[in-house]
Structure 1
């Protein structure tokens, strides 16, 4: 059993053991989200320890956390495996995301005294640009897309809503980024984000909410088409 794509070696650190465990956890979660590790990949603690340049203790601690979150599973005497995606759980998280984001956008259009206008201006600087100025970097656009939706919720001024939304975002990141493995989806994201922002700027609550709902549903539909083959192609990008 071995990891088919090397995991990045962590820099040396004099940080306490728990902090080192956090670093390993973050690295492995990033590897899964970026498809350096894909569902079905198997590995041992010793392999990870060698690749990351750390002892087995922080590796084991990180893997237990990932196991609790449903990303990996352990086999007695035979190492670990990245779990297949639980699409039913992702569907439920997308439903929750829909509620949070549409509520936030409605508030952005109807409660002007509570919104974070500078934050919306920052979004406009990224998404309301000429076609020639758009980024073609799939990973960057995926990160910007995630930040766009988090910013919409944050701008609505409800800290608890934003906290829950960040948690949902973190849990769907692994599947969501597969929506950016094809150029047409990158182009569509720019177009759809621009329309949502313009509707918000014009305080058209019903239109903005409908556009956002359609945008999320389209992304969700694309995610449903994902195959293991596409995940391996994503890792090769």
Structure 2
């Protein structure tokens, strides 16, 4: 059965989600060039909503456009990702320090209900855990009460999501995320700021190493058929 066409006002949003999925799934590979006409046929929208979607993805850093040459998927820049992760650590550690100092901490109970659970009650689905992980780190930053800090952190989260989400494609990393979040929450609850920040740095640092390895492996596997050629 052919999927129903989204209502007209949502066509640009539909195109945005579809193209972003193609990029995140490495169907459109980093460095690949494409034209609006061929992608419009693939996504099944006209060029006007597609162009709106592409311009949005360009602003977010996922695409580049060249006059008379068309569009290109932005190459993965691990130096930039490293800098974004470093900035993320600074922001989250500042938020954790604040959390250990303030009297009222109403958000901790909600986080504990998600992460301080028995092994049998843990969520196994990597996509769901990835979303919960983002919510965990957003909640830490929101606790600082600094709206500009939260805005910058949200931008970093969006820009690193293309690789960060891969950390939850392996079951051992899902389990490690539960364990590490539990230890971070424990240190915050006891108001041990230095310990909480140390655990947080280690948690984010290990995740960064894992996603780099997984990303490079996925890129290699995705390009392998092209290198092998027809049998």
Query: Could you state the TM-score of these two structures normalised by the residue count of structure 2?
Result: 0.83
1:135 corresponding residue in structure 2? 123
Kindly report which structure 2 residues correspond to 1:103-182, keeping only aligned pairs within 5 A, or say none.
103-113=94-104, 115=105, 117=106, 119-182=107-170
Aligned 8 A contact 1:33 1:177 in 2 = no
1:10 Cα deviation from its structure 2 partner: 7.8
Q: Given that residues 120 and 155 in structure 1 are in contact (C-alpha distance below 8 angstroms), is that contact kept between their aligned partners in structure 2?
A: no
Structure 1 residue runs without a partner (length 5+): 1-8
Q: Does 1:14 align with 2:8?
A: yes
Q: What does 1:92-107 align with in structure 2 at a 5 Å threshold?
A: 92-107=83-98
SS in 1 for 2:165: helix
Paired residues of 1:135 and 1:141 also in contact (CA < 8 A): yes
Match of 1:73 in 2: 64
Deviations 1:135-178 (A, max 9, x none): 11111111111111011111222222111111111111111112
With 219-228 and 72-81 compared, the bigger mean Cα shift is at: 72-81
| TM-score when normalising by structure 1 | 0.81
Is the alpha carbon distance of 1:10 and 1:33 closer, same or farther for their aligned partners in structure 2, counting shifts above 3 Å? farther
Q: Structure 1, residues 86-144: CA drift from partner, whole Å, max 9, x if none? A: 1111111111100100000111011124x4x1x32221111111011111111111111
1:42 positional shift: 4.8
Mapped to 1, the partners of 2:158 and 2:221 lie a distance apart of 23
Q: Give the CA deviation at 1:34.
A: 4.8
- Structure 2 distance, partners of 1:10, 1:178, is 30
Identify the residue that residue 5 of structure 1 maps to in structure 2. Answer: none
Aligned to 1:56: 47
Q: Distance in 2 between matches of 1:232 and 1:53?
A: 29
For structure 1, which segment, 164-173 or 55-64, has the greater mean C-alpha deviation from structure 2 after superposition? 55-64
Whether the 8 Å CA contact 2:96–2:188 is kept in 1: the answer is yes
Instruction: State the Cα RMSD in Å.
Output: 2.6
- Report how many aligned residue pairs link the two structures: 221
Alignment of 1:25-36 (within 5 A): 25-35=16-26
Comparing 47-56 with 176-185, greater Cα deviation is found at 47-56
Q: Which position in structure 2 is the counterpart of 1:45?
A: 36
